[in-house]
Amino acid sequence: EAGVTQFPSHSVIEKGQTVTLRCDPISGHDNLYWYRRVMGKEIKFLLHFVKESKQDESGMPNNRFLAERTGGTYSTLKVQPAELEDSGVYFCASSLGAGTIQETQYFGPGTRLLVL
Amino acid sequence: GENVEQHPSTLSVQEGDSAVIKCTYSDSASNYFPWYKQELGKRPQLIIDIRSNVGEKKDQRIAVTLNKTAKHFSLHITETQPEDSAVYFCAASSLNQAGTALIFGKGTTLSVSS
């Protein structure tokens, strides 16, 4: 079974530019999460989709970040315009969505974003 | 909201020794506590988890203990091997109807020297 995949693996952009990150969850997983780890700090929650709906976006830092999951399959996270503090590793995770117990979240390899 | 503290931030042990990583959490509603291992350049992978109705869980050389009263949980690795070297993250979450976010600690970098 293919795991969670993310694209690109690395991105280096200049401040003010736009970057779009993509996540493909494990097939059949309804729950999709975005997290971010800034250097040396904890992995922080950004938002959570259930199928195509945003269930919880309380971790999104500001309105420069826009996440979508059209059709309830893959998800994109756009940063526009990027700022220096947006640098970090962006992880995507997915879980099945059986609903009654907390399930394992499977992580992707992450996208390493560097804003210069 | 939930806050998870993790200690130590770095841990160096000799091969064959035991390693213990401790985490505390603040939200008494948290009921699920996974541990993830992230090797250099790889994705975080779940190594063990525990739910609030259990005090201890073991899987070969790895064990996790949970003290709900004190709101802390710990990862124990026995007979450490060089391949145990990685960053370990603890996390906490509480169940809601449709899944929920994991709140992570800052990570512990474990180095096992042979």
Nearest CA in chain A to B101: A45
The torsion region of residue B15 among left (phi > 0), alpha (psi -120 to 50) and beta comes to beta
B2 CB near a chain A CB, below 8 Å? no
Cis peptide bond prior to A109, omega within 30° of 0? no
A4 CB near a chain B CB, below 8 Å? yes
Q: What's the average model confidence in pLDDT over A19-34?
A: 95
Confidence of residue A70 (pLDDT cuts 50, 70, 90): confident
Number of other residues whose CB lies within 10 A of the CB of residue B21: 23
Tens-place pLDDT, residues B17-61: 999 999 999 999 899 999 999 999 899 999 999 988 889 999 999
Specify whether the CB–CB gap between B73 and B33 falls below 8 A. yes
> Does residue A40 carry a pLDDT above 60?
yes
- The answer to whether the Cβ–Cβ distance between A42 and B43 falls below 8 Å is no
- The answer to whether the Cβ–Cβ distance between A108 and B43 falls below 8 Å is yes
pLDDT at B72: 95
pLDDT at B99: 64
The C-alpha of B21 sits at a distance from chain A's nearest C-alpha, in angstroms, of 15
> Does residue B96 carry a pLDDT above 80?
no
As a whole number of angstroms, the distance between CA A114 and CA A98 comes to 36
Tens-place pLDDT, residues B60-79: 999 999 999 999 999 999 99
> Does residue B100 carry a pLDDT above 90?
no
Q: Which chain A residues are within 8 Å of B87, Cβ to Cβ?
A: none
Q: Which chain A residues are within 8 Å of B45, Cβ to Cβ?
A: 107
Tens-place pLDDT, residues A90-105: 999 999 876 666 788 9
- The answer to whether the Cβ–Cβ distance between B95 and A102 falls below 8 Å is yes
Q: What's the average model confidence in pLDDT over A77-81?
A: 97
Distances (CA, A) of A32 to A64, A111, B34, B83: 20, 16, 17, 30
- Which residue, A91, A100, A105, A49, is CA-closest to A73? A49
Q: Which residues pair with B98 in a beta bridge?
A: none
pLDDT at B2: 86
A23 CB near a chain B CB, below 8 Å? no
Mutate to test the interface with B, among A34, A55, A103, A105 (most CBs of B within 10 A): A105
